[in-house]
Amino acid sequence: MLDYSILIGGRAGDGIDKASLIIAHLLSSLGYKVFVSRDYPSLIRGGHTFSIIRISDEKIASYREKIDILIALNFETLEKHRFLLKEGCFYIYDSDNFKDNGSFCGTGVPLKTILKEENAPEFVKNSCLIGSFCKAAGIEWEILEKTLKKSITKEIEINLKVAKRGYDISREFFKIEKISQISLPVLTGNEALGLGFIKGGLDVYIGYPMTPSSALLHFLASVGPESSIKVIHPENEIAVILMALGFAYAGKKSAVGTSGGGFCLMNEGLSLAGMAEIPVVIVLGQRTGPSTGLPTYTGQTELFYAIHSGHGEFTRFVVSPGDCEQAYYLGAISVDIAWKYQIPSIILTDKSIAENVYSFNLDEVDQINFSQPIVWNGDEPFKRYKYTENGISPMCFVPKKEAIIKVNSYEHDEYGITTENPVITKSMQEKRVLIKEKFLLKEIENRFECVKVYGNKNSETAILCWGSNMPVCVELGKKYNLKVIQVVVLHPFPVNQFRKALEGVKRLIDIENNATGQLGNLIKSYGFSINDKILKYDGRPFSVDEIENKLKVL
């Protein structure tokens, strides 16, 4: 397996993100699968920020600790990361910014001098370093030129000029060969999810900025007009979800996105969706909590919260994607399920999947089939909450002739009129939570791969994971010939599929980004058990090496 890692770092505000994206595109155009892991602090300028770009000829979406090339915009980057360089590897640094007296081989690029000579603005300096990188990695100038032209929208000429200077000043260190694979698009989990919403027929996206879901708001706002999706950024998260419910009442498919703190504010709206049986899709991007926590770092601490959020009991659908293909798929499917069952769908992402960059292959997405909506046929007076066998009342939307459409946050009768009658209350509770959930569970277990199994399906040792940890676990499963079980649908818990996935497994190792092992605890409540846990809760995602080392000592 071909496997290279490049780390680029500098101060926040240095444009590390954009530079890493350009490198990712560059390497993707050579036929590689790429993955970019982003690490940045919660401030606009000054703090240390870096990205690791990993590429391979095989599908990967996790990072390694050792790197092949280090690109340092400041001394801190060199100091912090040079010990990660593999022996005899290469680094590129700004020699006008700091003098290096280390023992590694590297190329100093006098950025300030070059910019001055070319009369170029500060912001094009990354192009210069990318130029040096390309030379070092044996990438032809024409490929870089093409990539820069596509990726940079303003002042392309000067960017090309300084890139060429950087290219010429560097030397070839090794060669990242072009491989004969198709070049895939490169995008973040947020963007894949947004595309899934487009595919799923979303009409409206409403959000209040909060890392790591803000970029989903930005993405949909930018493609909204051409995709026929309205995008609104209102005063707070309470307005966000209540507006979404207003849209749904009028028949428009709406989704909202936030992180834990914003989701707390949305909880009364979530309960309202449960009581009034109004579909809504919620993206809950997890980060390191509790409270403000580490706003730009990752975590998987809201599994139980997502499942139990909101007051009262009602049916919901909770899923968590592990990569861009799953984000796309689940984006579309969550809209479908929310509208078929008239319930909230919650998509649990985290900072890793939301903001990391992946190669995305639309052809590898599972087949997406949409349900037929259950609508009122006009044969009898419209009852918004009509009792039915599967708990789903046929819907219609304002304005509808001959139908009075009443939804209600109070307990209500079939017409939507407030009631405190115990008989009606009991029937409505059963409709909302028992009957619907029973049918939903049956449907999802028949219709979707709620539990995915990878690696050696006959292995007696299995890794259990969910969400963004899937790719790193799959990579290790492949390497060590283990079974890997990913729970994609977390609620209603797909107990039959899970039991089947566990067949033949004698030892189950739970891998999660939280301190308590939430998925491990969840499966216990269904009578299953885990043997070991590998947990990480410092805000950082697992590297391949880290889990590998822990697996060895288990």
Partner 1 sequence: MDITKLNTNAKNTWCTGCGNFAILNALKLVVKEIVSKGTPIENIVLVSGIGCHAKIVDYINLNSFYSLHGRVVPVAQGIKIANPSLKVIGFSGDGDSYGEGLEHLLFAAKRNIDITMIIHNNRVYGLTTGQFTPTSPVGYKGRSTPYGNKEKPFNPIELMIAAGATFVARTFSHGIDLLKRIMLEAIMHKGFSIVDVLQVCVTFFNMYEYYDKRVYIMEENNLDDFDIAMKKAREWDYNSDTKIPLGIFYKKEEPTFEESFISYESKKFVDRELKVKEILKKYSI
Contact residues: partner 1, CB under 8 A: 25-26, 28-29, 146-147, 150-151, 183-187, 191, 195, 198-201, 203-204, 223-228, 230, 232, 234-236, 238-240, 242-252, 254, 268-269, 272, 276, 360, 362, 398-410, 412, 416-418
Minimum CB distance to partner 1, residue 59 (Å): 17
Nearer to partner 1, 287 or 384 (CB): 384
Minimum CB distance to partner 1, residue 440 (Å): 24
CB 76 within 8 A of CB 13: no
Minimum CB distance to partner 1, residue 204 (Å): 7
Query: Residue for token digits 């490929």?
Result: 143
Nearer to partner 1, 60 or 242 (CB): 242
Nearer to partner 1, 222 or 481 (CB): 222
Minimum CB distance to partner 1, residue 194 (Å): 9
Cα–Cα distance, 493 to 77 (Å, whole number):
44
Cα–Cα distance, 543 to 330 (Å, whole number):
25
Q: Is 26 helix (H, G, I), strand (E, B) or coil?
A: helix
Minimum CB distance to partner 1, residue 269 (Å): 8
Minimum CB distance to partner 1, residue 75 (Å): 32
CB 508 within 8 A of CB 529: yes
CB 467 within 8 A of CB 300: yes
Minimum CB distance to partner 1, residue 255 (Å): 13
Minimum CB distance to partner 1, residue 471 (Å): 19
CB 116 within 8 A of CB 125: no
Cα–Cα distance, 419 to 99 (Å, whole number):
77
Nearer to partner 1, 419 or 516 (CB): 419
Minimum CB distance to partner 1, residue 407 (Å): 5
CA angle 180, 181, 186 (to 5 degrees): 135
CA angle 35, 39, 42 (to 5 degrees): 145
CB-CB neighbours of 405 under 10 Å: 18
Cα–Cα distance, 17 to 38 (Å, whole number):
7
CB-CB neighbours of 246 under 10 Å: 15
Q: What is the DSSP letter of 120?
A: -
Minimum CB distance to partner 1, residue 12 (Å): 24
Give whole-number Cα distances, 57 to 35, 176, 235, 532, in Å: 12, 11, 46, 32
Nearer to partner 1, 107 or 271 (CB): 271
Nearer to partner 1, 162 or 270 (CB): 270
CB 193 within 8 A of CB 331: yes
CA angle 380, 384, 389 (to 5 degrees): 80
Nearer to partner 1, 169 or 353 (CB): 353
Minimum CB distance to partner 1, residue 242 (Å): 4
CA angle 256, 260, 265 (to 5 degrees): 65
Cα–Cα distance, 362 to 327 (Å, whole number):
11
* Cα first-last separation, the chain: 26
Minimum CB distance to partner 1, residue 196 (Å): 9
CA angle 170, 173, 177 (to 5 degrees): 110
Nearer to partner 1, 421 or 529 (CB): 421
Cα 19 to chain centroid, rounded: 21
Nearer to partner 1, 328 or 466 (CB): 328
Nearer to partner 1, 266 or 522 (CB): 266
CB 70 within 8 A of CB 91: yes
Nearer to partner 1, 51 or 227 (CB): 227
Minimum CB distance to partner 1, residue 179 (Å): 15
Cα–Cα distance, 176 to 4 (Å, whole number):
8
| β-bridge mates for residue 125, sequence order | none
Q: Two tokens at 36?
A: 């970019």
| β-bridge mates for residue 486, sequence order | 452, 465
Nearer to partner 1, 26 or 544 (CB): 26
Q: How buried is residue 379: exposed, middle or buried, by Cβ count under 10 Å (0-12/13-18/19+)?
A: exposed
Nearer to partner 1, 28 or 513 (CB): 28
